[in-house]
Structure 1
Amino acid sequence: MTTPTPGATPTPTPAPLHWKLVVDAADPHAQADFWAAALHYTAEDNSALVERLLSLGALPVEATVEYRGRSAFRDLIAVRHPEDPYDPETGTGLGRRLLFQRVPEAKTVKNRLHLDVHVGPERRAAEAARLEALGARVVREVNEPAGQWLLMADPEGNEFCLQ
């Protein structure tokens, strides 16, 4: 560790980096529907951006679909925390987001990264039942010295923990 030189101008702390978690999906819109419902998030409305890109000829019609009655990108969609800011011109969230992107290959191995959904032990059973009704499944119940939780899988088999 270096000691700052007396009288030296301190180096400003860089601003935190913006990020999103990107999830590969066979059906990004179905995954967005599941995770928006699971987390009580909002599916992003990028229709103004899609329409603008279509009108400029920068996006082919084949790259779009109708989603919830509006134009959307065919191969990607995000969900965001409803209280976080977003860009009203593009509909893109500027905070906590999950982006689902279509990929041609199926999921074949365990996730290297997963979400922990915190509900507390008193709500775990009810939330598990709610998530199962949305299309998730319980993979196994974990009971370890570090705690108890449910390992679950979303409709496409992506693991997450319900704690």
Structure 2
Amino acid sequence: MTSRFTELTVDCRDPERLAVFWCEVLDFKVIDRREDMVEIGSWVPTVEEIRARQMPPTLVFIRVPEGKAVKNRLHLDVSPIDGSTEDEVTRLLGLGATRTDVGQGPDRSWVVMADPEGNEFDVLRTLAPQD
């Protein structure tokens, strides 16, 4: 018996706003939309494909009444694929992200940011081909 990691769910006040933000960050598309919920992904999952092999998980944004109160215990890490880390941080700031301090200290190889609702995520080293 086995399970698959299929979705990561994010509680939020505005699922549509976060879905738009994360679609831009990750080049994902909305794959499901219901009252108070938006799911985004890089593919449209089918039960057969998921059962056959591990597939990339989707992100699900669910409306909740309360706002974020403390540092996330779980967060996303993203790696730029076609530019520098600095260029990606600039792009994400333009999409509505902010830099944030969660006590990471000055000597780090990543940049800690927050999405428009304050959920922390890290921008890691670039995966772009190096000349």
TM range (shorter): 0.7 to 0.9
Long gaps (5+) in structure 1: 1-13, 47-71, 88-93
For residues 52-81 of structure 1, the C-alpha deviation after alignment (integer angstroms, 9 at most, x for no partner) is: xxxxxxxxxxxxxxxxxxxx4220001101
Mapped contact 1:142–1:149 kept (Cα < 8 A): no
- Corresponding residue for residue 97 of structure 1: 58
> What SS does the corresponding residue of 1:148 show, helix, strand or coil?
coil
Taking CA–CA contacts closer than 8 Å with sequence separation of 6 or more, which of the two structures ends up with the larger relative contact order? 2
- Corresponding residue for residue 73 of structure 2: 112
Find the aligned partners of 1:142 and 1:85 in 2 and give their Cα distance. Answer: 39
- 2:95 matches 1:134: yes
Q: TM-score, normalised by structure 2?
A: 0.76
Find the aligned partners of 1:74 and 1:30 in 2 and give their Cα distance. Answer: 14
Find the aligned partners of 1:21 and 1:159 in 2 and give their Cα distance. Answer: 14
1:80 counterpart (23, 30, 41): 41
Find the aligned partners of 2:62 and 2:44 in 1 and give their Cα distance. Answer: 22
User: What amino acid is the match of 1:37?
Assistant: E
Find the aligned partners of 1:142 and 1:135 in 2 and give their Cα distance. Answer: 23
Mapped contact 1:26–1:103 kept (Cα < 8 A): yes
RMSD over aligned Cα atoms: 2.1
Aligned residues: 113
> What SS does the corresponding residue of 2:88 show, helix, strand or coil?
helix
User: How much does 1:152 deviate?
Assistant: 0.1
* Runs (4+) off by over 6 Å: none
2:8 counterpart (11, 15, 21): 21
Find the aligned partners of 2:29 and 2:112 in 1 and give their Cα distance. Answer: 24
For residues 111-161 of structure 1, the C-alpha deviation after alignment (integer angstroms, 9 at most, x for no partner) is: 0000010127x61111111111110011148553xx511000000000000
- 2:122 matches 1:156: no
For residues 77-119 of structure 1, the C-alpha deviation after alignment (integer angstroms, 9 at most, x for no partner) is: 01101xx3434xxxxxx74200000000010100000001012
Q: TM-score, normalised by structure 1?
A: 0.62
Structure-2 change in CA distance of 1:151 and 1:142 (3 Å): farther
Q: Rg bigger for which structure?
A: 1
